[in-house]
Chain A
Amino acid sequence: MKFQFESIADFIAMNGHGPYVWASYAITFAVLVFLLVSPLLQKKAFVKQQQKQQKLAQASDIASGSIE
């Protein structure tokens, strides 16, 4: 197996097909990163909101006197 291009500049140009190839890869990897990051952010947001509600519930418990 060997590197198919003579230089890095040659690799980027890909005999004129460079813009097509690199644009395709860039779009694909952007989507893959988004797919991976979005559920992680959603989980973070869920935990944050849930913690807020837990605090609210505790506060109302204290206010109503069910917790000393």
Chain B
Amino acid sequence: MAWQWFHRLGSPRWFYEKTTPWLPWLATLSIALIVTAAVWGLAFAPADFKQGNSYRIIYIHVPAAFLALAGYYIMAISGAVGLIWKMKLPFMVMKSAAPIGALLTFVSLVTGSIWGKPTWGTWWEWDARITSMLILFFLYLGMIALQQAFQHRDTADKASAVLALVGMVNIPIIYKSVDWWNTLHQPATIKFTSKSSIDPSMLYPLLMMVIGFYCFYALVLLLNTRVEILRRENRTQWVNDLVSAINKRA
């Protein structure tokens, strides 16, 4: 009985129906957090004594980079679960996570590049952190391409799950890149084991934005997974009923 919830997770229909009431809450929460944190970070947090106002890019750069990495975990773990327990739903989550992760990695690369110009005097540097993030971006693109390269759904899912797992080696490299190599990129600002090297007046809006980004990520991952569920289950009775119900309401 204890494992019943786990087997239910394999049922796309159960997942679809269960997550419906979560959506408005996640949407409200993430929009409120992101908007508040953006106003706070842009207008009310003090300027950095060394970097001036350009540091305000941190409030979107760091959360986007966090989620680019967290999204990779989610994608790779879903792929592993799908491979091991032969469940359909984790593969749908994995497929949905790829374009979201790619865009968030793109955001962290672009905002980092824009931040680099006034701070380091260059748009781009082949430094360890930046290069490993670029590889992460290509891994995400590879996942998207691989999903479309196979005629059979099963083959595409299995092949991209393997790619996601192999790509995991890049994750510790990204984390450790600022310590292992002498790089231009500044070391981690937020630390969980020791005192953060950032003043609370700057830290609180950043933490708020990180939480907001997590909620937003959860929201868009759910929305994408739900569309993927509908597409793959489009011949089932429950999807048919759902479409008819929407039809009647319209």
Contacts of B47 in A (CB 8 A): 4, 15
* Contact indicator B227/A35 (Cβ below 8 Å): no
B34 engages A32 (CB within 8 Å): yes
Cross-chain contact B107 with A15 (CB below 8 angstroms): no
How many B residues touch A, CB cutoff 8 Å? 44
Chain A residue contacts of B104, Cβ below 8 A: 31
Q: Does A40 contact B (CB under 8 A)?
A: yes
Contact residues, A21-68 vs B (CB, 8 A): 21, 23-25, 27-28, 31-32, 34-36, 39-40, 42-43, 46-47, 50-51, 54
By size class, the interface of chain A is 20 to 34
List the A residue with the shortest CB-CB distance to B213. Answer: A32
Contact residues in A for B231 (Cβ distance below 8 Å): 46
Q: How far apart are B239's CB and chain A's nearest CB, in angstroms?
A: 7
Contact A14 B53 (CB under 8 A): yes
Contact A27 B111 (CB under 8 A): yes
B114 near A20 (CB under 8 angstroms)? Answer: yes
Contact bitstring B171-214, A, C-beta under 8 A = 1, else 0? 00000000000000000000000000000010000000000000
**Shortest distance from the beta carbon of A45 to any chain B beta carbon, whole Å:** 9
- Cα A34 to Cα B100 in complex, Å, equals 10
CA–CA, A21 and B115, complex, Å = 8
Interface core residue of B46, B61, B117, B227 (most chain A CB under 10 Å): B227
Across the interface, A4 reaches (CB within 8 A) one of B34, B46, B61, namely B46
Distance, CA A15 to CA B47, complexed state (A): 10
Q: Is the CB of B219 within 8 A of A54?
A: no
**1/0 contact string of B20-56 vs chain A (CB within 8 Å):** 0000000000000010001000111111000011101
Task: List residues of B whose CB falls within 8 A of some A CB.
Answer: 34, 38, 42-47, 52-54, 56-57, 60-61, 64, 100, 103-104, 106-107, 110-111, 114-115, 117-118, 201, 216, 219-220, 223-224, 226-227, 230-231, 234, 239-240, 243-244, 246-247
User: A20-B54, A50-B243 provided; 10 other pairs, C-beta below 8 A?
Assistant: A1-B44, A3-B44, A4-B46, A17-B56, A20-B57, A20-B117, A27-B107, A27-B110, A43-B227, A51-B243
Interface CB pairs A-B, < 8 A, 14:
A3-B44, A11-B43, A14-B54, A21-B54, A21-B57, A23-B114, A24-B60, A28-B111, A31-B107, A39-B223, A42-B224, A47-B247, A50-B243, A54-B244
